[in-house]
Chains A and B, each alone.
Chain A
Amino acid sequence: MDAPKANETPAGERSGHLLVRVGEQICAVPVGAVRRVVRALTVHPLPGARAELAGLAEFAGEPLPVLDLGRLIGAPIGPHPLFPVTVVVWSRTADGREAIGLAADEALEVVDLSAASWLPTAGFLVGEALVGDQVVRVLDPDQLGAG
């Protein structure tokens, strides 16, 4: 079972982030929030749901809502992914945490990102960082529940 982890990173410190690609965009998810990366799960769409909700999947014996990361961040659709993944993240709520799945095209690697490069923005996109010459968008899964 997974134990709650500390997600918050003091400013200036580098912390591990999982880089995932969606379309041509790369997102960074703090490793502390990542529960597991798995091959893309079977998603059952929910009629009447918002476009960002890809549907419902099953993970670890529990139903898992899966969000379309591309739609979430507004990334244009890229080439057909060879090995799409579902990044299962913990999202902290008022009464605990809940698992959310993020459907991405590719899981890249775990890198350390410096906090100084974050741009504070509203919503779950909390900033942008530079990895090499690639701009990555940093996610805060705790904000996902807020929409």
Chain B
Amino acid sequence: MIEPNRRFPDRTATEPRLLPATSGAVALLAGAAAAGVLLLALGIGLGSGVPVWPLAVFLLVAAVALAILAGRKGLLARGAGSAAGAAREPVAAEQAAARAALRELRSGDLVTAAEARPHLVPRVRSAIATAAEGLASLAEQLREVNGEMASSADGVVRMTAELASSSSELSASVAEITAAMEELARTASGISERAIAQAELAARVERRGAVGEEALVEAVGGVGEVEARIAAIAERTDALGARSKEIYRVLDLIAEIAQETHVLSLNAAIEAAAAGPEGRRIAVVAEEVRRLASRSRDSVASVRALLDEFSASIRGTVVATEEGAKETRRVLGSAEQAAAAVAELRAVGAETSARARRISAATREQDGASDEVVATLRDVGYVVERTSAALSGLDTTQRRLERLVLGVELLAQGLRRDSPTSLVHLAEGWGARIVGETEVQRALDDLLVEAPYLDDAYMADAKGYALFLGSRRRPVDAQPAAGGGAKASPEPDRDLSARPWFRAVVARGRTVLTAPYVSVNGRTCFTVAVPAFGPNGELRSVFGVDVDVHNWTRIGAAS
């Protein structure tokens, strides 16, 4: 904790405590020590994460102070020797003034240290002023560098965050793409399988089509044969028809002969009857002949019936063969159509087969391609993992950097400078202003508006009870009556007496700047607390502000 020992508003100087040492040797030793510490700090600054700048600068200040003191002692010795006795009063005043200035300087209050003091010799005054300016300038430079570091750190943070999110996005994308590629590979292999199956099917169809075509050609040939046979049958039936006509004629002839024979037999019988008894034998013969003729007639009738049947069946055959021929021709037509269809089918099958083979080849290619893609993605995945690991390392570095930045900032804040970047200076200004306000609450609220890097502002009484509270985040309850009152309010907690900064202020009687801590809402901040004293030096109130580190370091660095 840095505790610039300064009371407000009284500027009663107290007796400074002089460091006992011989002038030159002490100066040299201090300088060497300071230099060594400085070097050490430079060497391990970035790695340790613990700010050592405060120690180094403090030692530097101490060295300068010692140097000046030594010089002053020398001067005092010389001055004491030359103007002893007669100049004792003005020298004591001068000593007091110098001591006061150095004390201010030592305590880090560069503003008061540089103030003009009537009793200071110009040389001393200018030396102190120079020292103060040098320190202020150093502090300012520190702050600038710190600011650059902070923005770099911001940049790193941003980059890290972006990188992290990119890498996580990338990871997610890699995972997605990998999944998609695998899906694609599966689909492709599925397509390939189907294509192969289809090609096989097409090949089978082709073969079957070839078989079918052969069968059809055979069938067509067969049909042609059948047609030829039918034609042959038709010819034969025609011949048979002609023969049967001949037979009918012959039958007619035989029938006629039979009839004639019959009539002949009748005539014979008639003659026999006329012949009387001698005609008996003729009558017998006549009867035989008649029977013969009758049998002939019957035979002819039978044959004719058979022939009729035969003719009918032949006619039937002719009709049937004609029908058959028609049917055959129809079948032939169908077969030819079927042959054409099969040829088409074969062509289609061949095309399908070719297409399937192309698909198969394409999917195989795709397989290879997707394999490559998956392999590439896997490489990317490894890269992303390594990047993430590096980033997490960077994250650690980032946190150390942030801590370093904060540390340097706090070191710089340890010096009160007349600058809007000096929080102690600002806080003491606000405190002085608000104590004199009638509407403190409104002043607190206005302050929060004016300084956006402040989270809270409060005015507590000497007991640590927060009379007024201004908060950026939490709604503030109705103000209690001035002078404090033990009114029970659910929140916020108005009893600040236990706060470390309150205790430090009470103990030290000076403006206190705390180390950074994590507030209730998870933000890193520190508190500047400024005491106000009554006319008798009693603590009357404490004014405090909570500074959000993140907001302050960026805003403070920018100005």
Judged by CB atoms under 8 Å, the answer to whether A and B touch is yes
- Chain A residues with CB under 8 Å of chain B are 5, 16, 18, 31-32, 34, 36-39, 82-83, 85, 107, 109-110
How close is A99's CB to chain B, nearest CB, in angstroms? 14
Q: Which of A32, A37, A82 contacts B273 (CB 8 A)?
A: A32
A residues near B273, Cβ cutoff 8 Å: 16, 31-32, 110
> Would you call B263 and A37 a contact (CB within 8 A)?
yes
Q: Which of B256, B259, B266, B267 contacts A109 (CB 8 A)?
A: B266
Q: Which of A82, A83, A110 contacts B270 (CB 8 A)?
A: A110
Alpha-carbon gap, A59 to B361, bound state (A): 110
Q: Mark B258-272, 1 if CB is under 8 A from A, else 0.
A: 011011001101100
Asked if B290 is at the interface of the complex by the 8 Å CB criterion, the answer is yes
Alpha-carbon gap, A109 to B268, bound state (A): 11
Alpha-carbon gap, A39 to B261, bound state (A): 11
Alpha-carbon gap, A5 to B275, bound state (A): 10
Q: Which of A38, A39, A85, A109 contacts B290 (CB 8 A)?
A: A109
Task: Give 19 pairs: A residue, B residue, CB < 8 Å, sorted on A.
Answer: A5-B274, A16-B269, A16-B270, A18-B266, A18-B270, A31-B274, A32-B273, A36-B270, A37-B270, A38-B263, A39-B260, A82-B255, A85-B263, A107-B262, A109-B266, A109-B269, A110-B266, A110-B269, A110-B273
B residues near A83, Cβ cutoff 8 Å: 255-256, 259, 262-263
A residues near B266, Cβ cutoff 8 Å: 18, 37, 107, 109-110
Alpha-carbon gap, A1 to B143, bound state (A): 184
Given A31-B274, A32-B274, A107–B269 Cβ distance below 8 Å?
no
Q: Which residue of B lies closest to A85 (CB)?
A: B263
Secondary structure of the A contact surface, majority rule:
strand
Alpha-carbon gap, A31 to B269, bound state (A): 9
Q: Which residue of A lies closest to B286 (CB)?
A: A110
How close is B293's CB to chain A, nearest CB, in angstroms? 11
B residues near A37, Cβ cutoff 8 Å: 263, 266-267, 270
How close is A42's CB to chain B, nearest CB, in angstroms? 16
Alpha-carbon gap, A39 to B262, bound state (A): 11
Q: Which of B240-280 contact A (CB under 8 A)?
A: 255-256, 259-260, 262-263, 266-267, 269-270, 273-274
How close is A32's CB to chain B, nearest CB, in angstroms? 7
> Would you call B270 and A34 a contact (CB within 8 A)?
yes
Secondary structure of the B contact surface, majority rule:
helix
A residues near B267, Cβ cutoff 8 Å: 36-37
Give 15 new A-B contacts, CB below 8 A, not counting A32-B273, A83-B256, A109-B269: A16-B273, A31-B269, A31-B270, A32-B274, A34-B270, A36-B270, A37-B266, A38-B263, A39-B259, A83-B255, A83-B263, A85-B263, A107-B262, A110-B270, A110-B273
A residues near B270, Cβ cutoff 8 Å: 16, 18, 31, 34, 36-37, 110
Q: Which residue of B lies closest to A84 (CB)?
A: B259
How close is B315's CB to chain A, nearest CB, in angstroms? 23
A residues near B290, Cβ cutoff 8 Å: 109
How close is B261's CB to chain A, nearest CB, in angstroms? 11
A residues near B255, Cβ cutoff 8 Å: 82-83
Alpha-carbon gap, A101 to B14, bound state (A): 199
B residues near A5, Cβ cutoff 8 Å: 274
How close is B299's CB to chain A, nearest CB, in angstroms? 15
Alpha-carbon gap, A146 to B270, bound state (A): 25
B residues near A82, Cβ cutoff 8 Å: 255, 259
Alpha-carbon gap, A37 to B260, bound state (A): 10
Listed from nearest, the 6 A-B pairs whose CB atoms lie closest are A83-B259, A31-B273, A110-B269, A16-B273, A31-B270, A34-B270
Alpha-carbon gap, A138 to B315, bound state (A): 47
Q: Mark B282-304, 1 if CB is under 8 A from A, else 0.
A: 00000000100000000000000
Alpha-carbon gap, A83 to B255, bound state (A): 9
Q: Which residue of B lies closest to A36 (CB)?
A: B267
Alpha-carbon gap, A110 to B282, bound state (A): 13
B residues near A110, Cβ cutoff 8 Å: 266, 269-270, 273
B residues near A18, Cβ cutoff 8 Å: 266, 270
Q: Which of B290-330 contact A (CB under 8 A)?
A: 290
Interface centre among B255, B259, B266, B267 (most CB of A within 10 A): B266
Alpha-carbon gap, A85 to B274, bound state (A): 21
How close is B272's CB to chain A, nearest CB, in angstroms? 9
B residues near A31, Cβ cutoff 8 Å: 269-270, 273-274
Interface centre among A5, A32, A110 (most CB of B within 10 A): A110
Alpha-carbon gap, A106 to B274, bound state (A): 22
> Would you call B263 and A107 a contact (CB within 8 A)?
yes
How close is A9's CB to chain B, nearest CB, in angstroms? 12
How close is A84's CB to chain B, nearest CB, in angstroms? 10
Alpha-carbon gap, A18 to B256, bound state (A): 20
How close is B177's CB to chain A, nearest CB, in angstroms? 107
Interface centre among A31, A32, A39 (most CB of B within 10 A): A31
How close is A33's CB to chain B, nearest CB, in angstroms? 10
How close is A43's CB to chain B, nearest CB, in angstroms? 18
